[in-house]
Structure 1
Amino acid sequence: MSSSTKRCRPWRVFLNPFSLSPPISFGEAKRRIHHNITYFTYNYSLVSLLILFLALIYHPLSLIVFLVVFVFWLVFYLSRNESLVIFGKVIDDNVVLILLRVFTVVAVGLTGVWLNVIVGCLVAVFIIVFHAAFRITDDLFVDEENLSNGLLNSVVSSSYRLV
């Protein structure tokens, strides 16, 4: 994932109620979900962390663990502008994101609030998929960096690679 797709998109664009419309087909919903999750990855990560935080509000020990884990999120994902390099190898942002998600669920779950973690994660997934399916993608433009990498997003299909 490039740094351009990782940055936080403006919240007024993300939450614009005029950009919501039911998809006309299941295929359209899948296309919107794929495009919006790629475009709003950073925003969706913050939304899911907020929902998990709210699910733990009445469990002080879990909140402390969550805040410690949130520091890892800040260091390894939210505040980085460049790719993570470990032992000379560049670690893809998708791998970092998956590892942070698993680490968060396991660390907070080990405090004995598995039900809260599971419910919080399910609520976050539901809200994210609902928003991604209903968020129109026509006003989301292709990044110049993706164009320079040879990627074009089409209204008809997900992506093409220029030859």
Structure 2
Amino acid sequence: MTKNGADAVPTSSHAHPLVDLDSISHTKQRIKDGLATRRPWRVMFDFHSMVLPRGVSDAFSRIKTNLAYFRSNYAIFVLTVVFFSLIWHPTSLIVFTVLVFVWIFLYFLRDEPLKMFRFQIDDPTVLMVLSVITVVLLLCTNATFNIIGALVTGAVLVLIHAVVRKTEDLFLDEEATTT
């Protein structure tokens, strides 16, 4: 055995090239941080906050606020509805699974804003582009009826929730988390 410990067993997390514990730990943290933009489901489905709007302007105001506030939750919900509609279409399900990974890395797990050609792309734009790409690619898999039905069902359920979920307490939650 040498004095400088050259014969010692390596203890670095990079000792085995196939298992990089630092990368796994970083990925787990990015998943947690990415899902942090999602609002708690118990806040979203707080039955004490479900009240019919007072008028059309109140309904439109609620839709605008709730769509912005629960954006990630609504995306997860609609993607889940589309997933269940594709169970009997294996090709579409494979395409959808690949697209879900694209969604995870480009929308849910980003640490910083997405930049393309020196331009910063905001979250609503990324959401819209990913939605269009998802729909177009899935429509190319010959499951058109299922996809359209799932998207309409998801959109109707999201709009119903956005209309009946009052918004007065949502701003209080945002202020409480920033202080």
Output the TM-score relative to the length of structure 1.
0.82
1:9 matched residue in structure 2: 39
Residue aligned with 1:21, SS: coil
Partners of 2:128 and 2:104 in 1: CA distance: 15
Q: CA deviation at 1:108?
A: 1.1
Q: State percent identity of aligned pairs.
A: 38
Matched, 1:95 2:95: no
Of residues 83-92 and 42-51 in structure 1, the stretch that sits farther from structure 2 once superposed is: 83-92
Q: Which amino acid counterpart does residue 84 of structure 2 have in structure 1?
A: L
Superimposed CA distance per residue, residues 23-58 of structure 1 (whole angstroms, 9 cap, x where no aligned partner):
111111111011000111010000010011111111
Q: Residue type of the partner of 2:53?
A: P
| Partner residue in 1 for 2:103 | 73
Q: Which residue of 1 aligns with 2:59?
A: 29
Partner AA of 2:154 in structure 1: A
Aligned position for 2:5: none
**SS in structure 1 opposite 2:168?**
coil
**SS at 1:140's partner residue?**
helix
- 2:89 aligned partner: 59
Give the superposed CA RMSD: 1.7
Distance 2:164 2:112 in 1: 31
Q: Letter of the aligned partner of 1:76 in structure 2?
A: L
Q: Distance in 1 between matches of 2:111 and 2:63?
A: 25
Matched, 1:108 2:126: no
Aligned to 2:148: 118
Which residue is 2:12 aligned to? none
What SS does the aligned partner of 1:85 have? strand
Q: Extract structure 1 runs of 4+ deviating beyond 2 A.
A: none
Normalising to structure 2: TM-score of the pair?
0.75
